[in-house]
Structures are given as structure tokens and as C-alpha cells.
Amino acid sequence: EVQLVASGGDLVQVGGSLRLSCAASGFSLSSYWMHWVRQDVEKGLVWVSRISSDGGNTVYADSVRGRFTVSRDNAKNTLYLQMNNLRVEDTAVYYCARDLGGLGPTTFDFWGQGALVTVSS
Amino acid sequence: DIQMTQSPSTLSASVGDRVTITCRASQSISNWLAWYQQKPGKAPKLLIYKASTLQSGVPSRFSGSGSGTEFTLTISSLQPDDFATYYCQQYNTYWTFGQGTKVEIK
């Protein structure tokens, strides 16, 4: 059974840092590009970042570029999101999601359960 | 950025009803559109991708259509498990989501 379990969510002060982890099981993480997506009440679902299967290619949303870093350890079947200089507007549930794969543009075929990040002023 | 607009925001329906949700893109996205279902406290679940391709395991009462800028999700006969919020998502250029349509019990 495919599972993605996100962890590391917490309450943090403005300007602080946090690292989220996403542990994959039931499939080989090394075969898939992966994403982070966040959800809050105001903005809804917002894509945050994507990383290629080998970690060599990363892309970020404008709102987090320069502050967030996505990485992966395929040997540990784990995806990470390092979040620095956090802002109140980064408060959200963060999901890791697996890329559907295939030729051309692709979407997300499986999502983890989400980790809550709360940034307090 | 490509903006996605769903209508209606809320839809009241009964079990057995035929339900249609509309999604409009601010520019053409060909058929690079997905539909997701989300229940409270859970992660979104992929229903349809490439506008009309049913994801494995999704009941055939769900169907999608459209191309360019206008798309629809149809549930042919609403079941109790289908009361949820539905999101469209474009993946022609990066990834953006609609604001969601909540399907509630009438």
C-alpha cells in the first residue's frame, strides 16, 4: 500500500526555521518526482515546490523561493522541506505529493496526510 | 499565473442527483486539468486527470470533460460517500488550483 507520512509540523515564531519530512512506503521513492503543496483557509491549495527523482532539479513557487529548500534521501525513502525565515502567511497544512509521471505535464496521484505548520508573531 | 475559477462554490444535492461542477482557466491549458476530491481532515484524492481520464480505482459515476479554458466534472448519480469538496487544478504551467466546490446534503 502506498503511504506518505509527513512529520515535523510545529508552532514556530516569525523568522524561525522548521524542517518537514515525508516518509514514503509501498513504492520506490527514487522512481518518482515529488512535490510539496500547502493548504490554508484563505488561499486554499497552493503548490510550493517540486523535486526531480534524483534531486538534481528543483522548482519553487515565487512566495517561497529563497527561503524554502526541497531535498530528498532516496536511500531513506524520505523527502524533506527546509523552511527558513518563516512568515505568518506560511501558516498552513503542508502535504507531500507524488508526481503521476509520464510524458508531458503531470499532476499528483497520491498525497500524504499533511503536517500543520503554524507561524506566530 | 494561470487562475482557476470554479462554480458554484457550494452545491446542495440529494443522493441520486446528477451533479455538475464547472472550472474555467484564465488562459488555455489544453487538456492539462485534474479534479480532486477532499474530505475534512484528509488529503486530496485524484479523481480525473488530463481532463477526462479516470484515475485507477475511481468509480465510473465520475466523469470529466472540456478543453482549452472550460471544463466540467460530472457525478452521474450522487452517492453518500461523494459529499465532499472538489477542486480543479491546471498543470499546463506549474500547478494552480481552483477555490473548491463544496457538495453538501440538501
Quick: pLDDT tens for A60-116.
Answer: 999 999 999 999 999 999 999 999 999 999 999 999 999 999 888 899 999 999 999
Provide the pLDDT for residue A103. Answer: 83
Q: Is B106 exposed, middle or buried (0-12, 13-18, 19+ CB in 10 A)?
A: exposed
Contact A82, A36 (CB under 8 A): no
Provide the pLDDT for residue A83. Answer: 98
What are the grid coordinates assigned to B27, written together? 488562459
What is the arithmetic mean of pLDDT over A26-53?
96
Neighboring chain B residues of A109 at a CB cutoff of 8 Å:
46, 49, 55
Neighboring chain A residues of B92 at a CB cutoff of 8 Å:
105
Residue B91 binned pLDDT confidence (cut-offs 50, 70, 90): very high
DSSP lists the bridge partners of residue B41 as: none
Of A59, A106, A113, nearest to B43 by CB-CB distance is A113
Interface contact B32, partner A, CB < 8 A: yes
Neighboring chain A residues of B87 at a CB cutoff of 8 Å:
44-45
The gap between the terminal CA atoms of chain B, to the nearest Å, is 36
User: CA A94 to CA A114: how far, in whole Å?
Assistant: 5
